[in-house]
Amino acid sequence: MSKVVVTGGAGFLGSHLCDALIALGNEVVCIDNFLSGSKDNIAHLMDNPRFTLIIADVSLPINEKLSGLSAIFHFASPASPNPASPVSYMAHPVETMLVNSIGSKYMLDLAVENNCQIILASTSEVYGDPEVHPQPETYLGNVSSIGPRSCYDESKRFMEALAFAYLRSKSAKIKVIRIFNTYGPRMMLDEGRFIPAIVDSYLHQKPFFMHGKGVATRSFCYVDDLIAGIMAVYRKGVEGEVINLGNPQEYSLVEVLDVLKEVTGRAIEVVYKEGLVDDPQRRKPDITKAKEMLDWSPTVSLPEGLRKMIESYSR
């Protein structure tokens, strides 16, 4: 049995990751301060003897001695870009910068101490508003260092740079994944990200506020596919690599609304508002590297994923 740490384990992705790791027979230590996550996401794990919850801010030193680890998954960080959401990184800009910088330092130190691999959850936001399309890992990005999204984008870029500094100076076993928009059950419907917001609007028959004209594109990955990709990263010897994980099927936001209508048989009411500052206009991962190195690619289409997500919330 392997012992692993998941920071941000009470969040959307972290909790699905805890489930997958437990299912594989691992002992999981989840560290979370519930800044943007929820106890509900891990309620089903609390009685499991192979699951431990430490309620703590990973930007501060952890009091517990964590030894005998075989892997660390550093996923703690707010992730919603919607300024209106109380759990977004714009609502917690300083905390976001600290968890991705100092929090990453503590987790990298822990990985070196345990001589174990560390998988760091980076993001497609490191590409900013991309001038290269689709985005391969070699693209260096087009990011504002001072705009409202910079607390997230630049701290994730710092996290990546720090991870590579640890690789070069301390031979840390780092694996960096750049996650593109992922959706599915356990997202908070009112957290402000696009897919939960339209699902919320459909389920509760309330207007959806579209920032901009809806022509910007995104590529949406269903959570089961992403978790399969992360587990492949965990299993394979891809230390020192940066790998994009996401679904390359690209849709404009308006097209996604059409897919939702097809799936549900009902259109939602859309209210158009001003576009957001520095909002990326195009977003699509180049996943050639993931296909080659991990033998992984997503299998769930957007209509199928939306159907699954709506079913889960209807239950």
Min separation Cβ 253 and ligand NAD, Å: 15
| 182 near ligand NAD, judged by CB under 6 A | yes
> Applying CB under 6 A, does 155 fall inside the site for ligand NAD?
no
Catalytic annotation on 89?
no
By the rule CB under 6 A, 76 interacts with ligand NAD: yes
Phi then psi for 243, rounded to 5 degrees? -135, 130
Euclidean distance between the first and the last CA atom of the chain, given in angstroms as a whole number: 34
Stretch 116-145 residues interacting with ligand NAD (CB under 6 A)? 121, 123
Query: What is the number of residues in the chain?
Result: 315
Beta carbon nearer to ligand NAD, 17 or 116: 17
CA distance 298 to 287: 10
Number of other residues whose CB lies within 10 A of the CB of residue 224: 18
Position among 5, 6, 10, 306 found at the interface with ligand NAD (CB under 6 A):
10
Rounded distance between C-alpha atoms, residue 35 and residue 86, angstroms:
10
Report DSSP state, residue 170.
Answer: H
- Using CB under 6 A, count the residues that bind ligand NAD: 30
**Contact set for ligand NAD, span 96-115 (CB under 6 A):** 99, 103
- Tell me how far apart the 2 most distant CA atoms of the chain are, in Å: 56
Query: Shortest Cβ distance from residue 236 to ligand NAD (Å)?
Result: 19
280 scored as a contact of ligand NAD (CB under 6 A):
no
Say if CB 42 and CB 53 are below 8 A apart.
Answer: yes
**At a CB cut-off of 8 Å and minimum separation 6, what does 277 contact?**
147, 148, 149
Of the residues 19, 27, 32, 200, which one makes contact with ligand NAD according to CB under 6 A: 32
Which of 89, 106, 139, 152 is catalytic? The answer is: 152
Tokens linked to 24 = 């594989």
25: region left, alpha or beta (phi > 0 left; psi from -120 to 50 alpha) = left
Q: Is 12 in the site for ligand NAD (CB under 6 A)?
A: yes
Member of 26, 59, 104, 114 binding ligand NAD (CB under 6 A): 59
The residue from 28, 110, 174, 179 that contacts ligand NAD (CB under 6 A) is 179
Q: How far is the CB of 78 from ligand NAD (least distance, A)?
A: 5
Q: Of the candidates 28, 71, 73, 77, which one interacts with ligand NAD according to CB under 6 A? A: 77
Give residue for tokens 């005998």.
Answer: 68
From candidates 28, 37, 72, 280, binder to ligand NAD by CB under 6 A: 37
Separation of alpha carbons 63 and 198, rounded Å:
41
- The span of 55-63, 231-239, 263-271, 288-296 binding ligand NAD (CB under 6 A) equals 55-63
DSSP one-letter code for 59: T
What stretch of H or E contains 23?
helix 12-23
Catalytic residues: 152
Q: Which residue ranges make up the site for ligand NAD (CB under 6 A)?
A: 7-8, 10-14, 31-37, 57-59, 75-79, 95, 99, 103, 121, 123, 179, 181-182
